[in-house]
Structure formats: structure tokens, C-alpha cells
Amino acid sequence: MEFFFEVLTGGLLAGIMYSMVAIGFVLIYKASGVFNFAQGSMVLFAALTFVSLVERGLPFAAALGITLAAMLLLAVAIERAVLRHLVNRPPITLFMATLGLSFIIEGLAQVLWGAQVHELDLGITDEPFEVSGILLSSFDLFAAGTAALLVVALSLLFHKTRIGLSLRAVADDPLASLAVGIDLKRVWAIVWGVAGFVSIVAGLLWGARVGVQFSLSLIVLKALPVLIIGGFSSISGAIVGGLIVGAGEKLAEVYLGPLVDGGIENWFPYVLAIIFLSIRPAGLFGERTVQRV
């Protein structure tokens, strides 16, 4: 049982890392209905910008501030140059636009910072320590604490501020929000800016874990099962979905992997996603679409 709980705990903590990326998707989808396939590229751009500045001798705080400013500018530029001109277009059009943006952002990152692999050290040791016979990773615990603070901050933003009220109104009914005087363009710019900030957090944590390299943008594929299970419009769902995916893939690799010669960890989350699509298409916390006929 100690081994089981050790694997389960490790999976839950790893799932938090997936949730960090999924939250960025949720923010944009919740406010504008856009599935931002470029979120993975934004995570890569943030991590690559930060580590490149640090390697050039900038202090940690200065590099972080410049990276934050760069991501906010990038997010606002995306909203103004692309999203603003595609209002009321079919969802597939918006999806293809963000798909194209993902390649543009990756190309921009390569032009600015090069294509070499970087090692990112945040000063956080990844030494395991034992709690009641269970080995835990200090880095994973730090990531879990960061995710918890991020969720609390976003919850306060959505529920305790005037901007948050506008965001929730736009998420519920964009046309009605526009009719009562809410500036949709301003709201969307804020949402993309917040998503850019989330990209920094996710990019630094993932970069410190696997290195800053262009394959980092592919974590968007691991976030898809998290979104399907948790729901595309719920921040809480992104966290729960990440926990389910993280725990599920680790337990499956340990207990089912030997039966199929291993490798199950890479595709088992998609099995879970297909199961959820069959029994609960909106996800655990997603909003079901109601059509009047």
C-alpha cells in the first residue's frame, strides 16, 4: 500500500503540471469561446525569453519583469491583430487562426533567441524526501503550491473585482454584455494578458523540469485530455482534470504497463478522455450546451 500511495501521490503532483497549461486554455475559452492552440507556443516563448535573458547576465527579477512585459505585449498583439478581426466567425476559423499563430510564435522565438536547448535553474532542488514512508518530490510540491496560489488569485480576480465581473458576464453572454456597455475588446485583451502571465508560470516550471527546448510547445497535447475531463470552461475543472490524468497515467504505467510491454503512460490519458467524451462530453465541471427548439 505504501508503494501504491507513493505512485498515486507522484501522479497527482505531476498532474498539477498539466493543469498549469490547461488553465491558460480555460481563461481564453471562457471569455471568448476560442480554443487557443497557440497556448503551448506561448509557454515556450515565455520560458525561452526568461532563460535567454538570465544567460545574458540579467538578475532573476529583471528577467522575470521583462518576460512578463513581453508576454503581455504578445498577448495584446494577438488579440488586436487576429482575434479582434475574427469576431463572430465560425469556431473552426478561430481554431485554425490560433494553430497558425502557434507556428508564428515558435518562429519568432527562434529568430530572437535561437533554437538551442537551455537548462533552466530556478534554485529549487528536486531532492526526494520521505513523509510517512512515501517519497515526495520537493519540486513537485513547489509546483503544486504555485498552482494553488494561482487558482486562488484567479478566483479572486473573477469573483471579487469589477474586471472579474465583466469577464464572467462576457463568458455568460457576449452579446448581452455588449448591450449593457461592456467593452468586449478590452475584456478580451485582459484575458489574453492573464493567459500570458499563466504561460510564464507554466513555462518556468516546465522549463526547469524538462529543459527549455522547442518540444516544450507540445505539452499542449497533454493538456487536451485534462480539458476534456475537467471541462473547457472551468478553472477548477482544469485542476481536477490534471489530477485525474496525472494519477491515471502513473498508476496505469505501473500496474497495466507490464501487461502490454510498457509505454502506456503516453497514451492512457487519451483513453480516459475518450471515455469521458462518451459519458460526459462537457467534462466534470463544463457547462452543457442547451439549445432551444
> Letter for the amino acid at 13?
L
Instruction: Report CA 92 to chain centroid distance, whole Å.
Output: 21
Closest by CA to 200, choosing from 4, 21, 8, is: 21
Task: Please say whether the dihedral angle defined by the alpha carbons of residues 217, 239, 24 and 203, taken in this order, is positive or negative.
Answer: negative
CA diameter of the chain: 63
How far is residue 29's CA from residue 257's CA, in Å, rounded to a whole number? Answer: 35
How many domains, the chain? 1
In the block, cell 498583439 appears at: 77
Q: Is residue 105 part of a domain?
A: yes
278 burial type by CB count under 10 A (0-12 exposed, 13-18 middle, 19+ buried): exposed
Q: Is residue 156 part of a domain?
A: yes
In the block, cell 481554431 appears at: 95
Give the Å distances, CA to CA, from 288 to 33, 236, 241. Answer: 14, 16, 17
Q: Is residue 15 part of a domain?
A: yes
The predicted-structure confidence for 55-88, as pLDDT tens digits, reads as follows 888 898 899 899 989 988 888 888 777 777 776 6
Banded pLDDT at 288 (limits 50, 70, 90): low
How far is residue 58's CA from residue 76's CA, in Å, rounded to a whole number? Answer: 25
Q: Is residue 22 part of a domain?
A: yes
Q: Is residue 46 part of a domain?
A: yes
Q: Is residue 230 part of a domain?
A: no
When mean pLDDT is compared over 111-120, 169-178, 184-193, the highest value belongs to 111-120
The predicted-structure confidence for 20-62, as pLDDT tens digits, reads as follows 888 888 888 877 777 888 888 888 898 899 999 998 888 988 9
Spatial neighbors of 82 by CB under 8 A, at least 6 apart, are 97, 98, 101
- Give percent helix, percent strand, percent coil of the chain, each to the nearest 5: 75, 5, 20
pTM of the model: 0.83
Alpha helix ranges (H) inside the chain:
2-32, 39-55, 60-81, 91-113, 138-160, 162-172, 174-179, 184-210, 219-230, 235-255, 268-279
Q: Is residue 118 part of a domain?
A: yes
Range of the domain at 30: 2-215
Q: Is residue 223 part of a domain?
A: no
How far is residue 287's CA from residue 158's CA, in Å, rounded to a whole number? Answer: 17
